[in-house]
A and B are shown apart, each in its own frame.
Chain A
Amino acid sequence: MSNTTAALEAAGLAKSYSRRKPAVLDECSFRLPRGRVCALVGPNGAGKSTLLRLAAGLLRPARGTLHVLGLTPARARERVAYVAQSKPLHPQLTVAETLRYGAVLNRSTGRWDRRAAERIAYGREDGEGLAPDARIRTLSGGQRTRVALALAFGKRAELMLLDEPMADLDPLARQQLTGALMSAAEEGTTIVMSSHVIAELEGSCDFLLLVTGGRLRLGGEIEEVTAAHTLLTGTADLDASRQTVIEERPSGRGRTALVRSTEVPDGDWLAERPNVEEVLLAHLRNTHVPPFLTGDASPVSVQRAERARAQENAA
């Protein structure tokens, strides 16, 4: 399998749990290149968990396609680790037994890395990790997350799908486990982490997918997404036909506006580069604006169509 295949590639992906209810995911098309650390962001109920479960091969799409490492989700499963929000583990087993169980389940792949799993579960220093003989049922939520992540590391997956992995970790464990994830990323593992806490993902993620109401709103390398937007402050009027205005708010005698453009309009404007949090919040407050995908985040089918259109225009 060539390395040019994406970690994830979705085209027209849709999922609904019931005919009467609106779709949980609708018309999702995007591409996540390999080797990225991707933040999957959106409010509660936006469809983040559904997207991860589709990628893990636990759900089937109602419409559209989803390729994982160039394969169907079911066929990619051996090479993918999925950590669910609920961290389903056997309550009666000890931590050591759980890791042995993980080794048995992954025997067929021959990829199980016992030391990697133990490093996460037991920590590298005293007081950092868990006791091998602790039973799962006695563990806190955060400690269970550590066990679930230990299994994911032991699997030596090429793609890690993590649903709210940091939610119940204490600051020390969060720092240590994020460090371990970054070190896996340094070796080329692709990581997708969902969260509704934006600050949690800043610094460690380099790619972004924003989902609201089951639809993809933003996608691409974080720097490229923020660089495509400008924060304008001034007293002049803003001509909405010249650029996409994501949000406009009064400020003193003038206004502050986040626009999707790198050009500064006529008039006396202070133009600043927004940070990722400003771009995300503006898009969360204004879900009617057109979606934005960078070239890297566009599915190959879309890229092909764009190229064809460009050639047609040139001819």
Chain B
Amino acid sequence: MTAAGAFKFRIDRRSGVATYWQIVQQTKQALRLGLLEPGDKLPTAREVVEATAVNPNTVLKAYRELEREGLVEGRRGLGTFVRASLGTASSLDSPRRAELEEWMDRAHEDGLAREDMTALFDSVLNERFPQENS
């Protein structure tokens, strides 16, 4: 346990999202929100399984994925540590955000409803960056 309080995962079994993927996404979210910063220790597989009752292999799989993406590193006998922080593309003054806002205004003028925009966005996103796992 770190002094700041250990980071905790919230597993939703009914979401239909693979458990290991929830762990990956929540870690990234924590990096974006600044809950985790480089040098911080992730909870051990043991701590995660005791708290969430998920299978230990699932936690290890998630940590391997985060490691593959270069976000964390496992240090033998010490645990898994955050290596990199994640960009803040979602922050208010980012140019990408401004472009997306423009795009949405135009889509709205064309008569697209909220759901149409989400569907369109997801469709292009999945086409360009297919998810390796469901």
> Which A residues are within 8 Å of any B CB, using their own CB?
37, 175, 178-183, 185-186, 199, 202-206, 273, 275
Contacts and interface: CB of A to CB of B under 8 A. Distances in A.
28 contacts: A37-B55, A175-B53, A178-B53, A179-B49, A179-B50, A179-B52, A179-B53, A182-B54, A182-B55, A182-B56, A183-B50, A183-B56, A185-B49, A185-B55, A186-B46, A186-B56, A202-B13, A203-B11, A203-B19, A203-B54, A203-B55, A204-B54, A204-B55, A206-B55, A206-B57, A206-B58, A273-B134, A275-B16
Given A183-B50, A185-B55, 15 more contacts: A175-B53, A178-B53, A179-B49, A182-B49, A182-B54, A183-B46, A183-B49, A186-B45, A186-B46, A186-B56, A203-B19, A203-B55, A203-B58, A206-B58, A273-B134
B51 interface: yes
A204 B57 CA distance: 9
Contacts of A206: 55, 57-58
A183 B54 CA distance: 9
B45 A203 contact: no
Contacts of A199: 13
Identify which of B45, B55, B58 gathers the most chain A CB atoms within 10 Å of its CB: B55
A175 B11 CA distance: 12
Interface string B87-114: 0000000000000000000000000000
A203 B13 contact: yes
Nearest to B60: A186
B31 to A, nearest CB: 24
B13 A182 contact: no
Nearest to A181: B53
B43 to A, nearest CB: 12
A183 B52 CA distance: 10
Nearest to B14: A199
B59 to A, nearest CB: 8
Contacts of A273: 134
A202 B57 CA distance: 13
A209 to B, nearest CB: 16
A6 B93 CA distance: 58
Interface residues of B, number: 17
Nearest to B11: A203
Interface in B30-58: 45-46, 49-58
Contacts of B50: 179-180, 182-183
A37 to B, nearest CB: 6
Identify which of A179, A185, A202 gathers the most chain B CB atoms within 10 Å of its CB: A179
Q: Lowest 10 A-B CB distances belong to which pairs?
A: A182-B49, A178-B53, A186-B56, A179-B50, A179-B53, A183-B50, A206-B55, A203-B54, A186-B46, A203-B13
B109 to A, nearest CB: 33
Contacts of A179: 49-53
A203 B11 CA distance: 9
Contacts of A180: 50
Nearest to B52: A179
Contact of B56 (A175, A185, A202, A275): A185
Contact of A203 (B16, B51, B53): B53
A199 B16 CA distance: 12
Contact of B49 (A186, A202, A205, A275): A186
A182 B53 contact: yes
Contacts of A204: 53-55
Contacts of A183: 46, 49-50, 56
A175 B13 CA distance: 13
Nearest to A273: B134
B19 to A, nearest CB: 6
Contacts of B56: 182-183, 185-186
A204 B48 CA distance: 12
Nearest to A191: B55
Contacts of A178: 53
Nearest to A36: B57
A204 to B, nearest CB: 5
B57 to A, nearest CB: 5
Contacts of A185: 49, 55-56
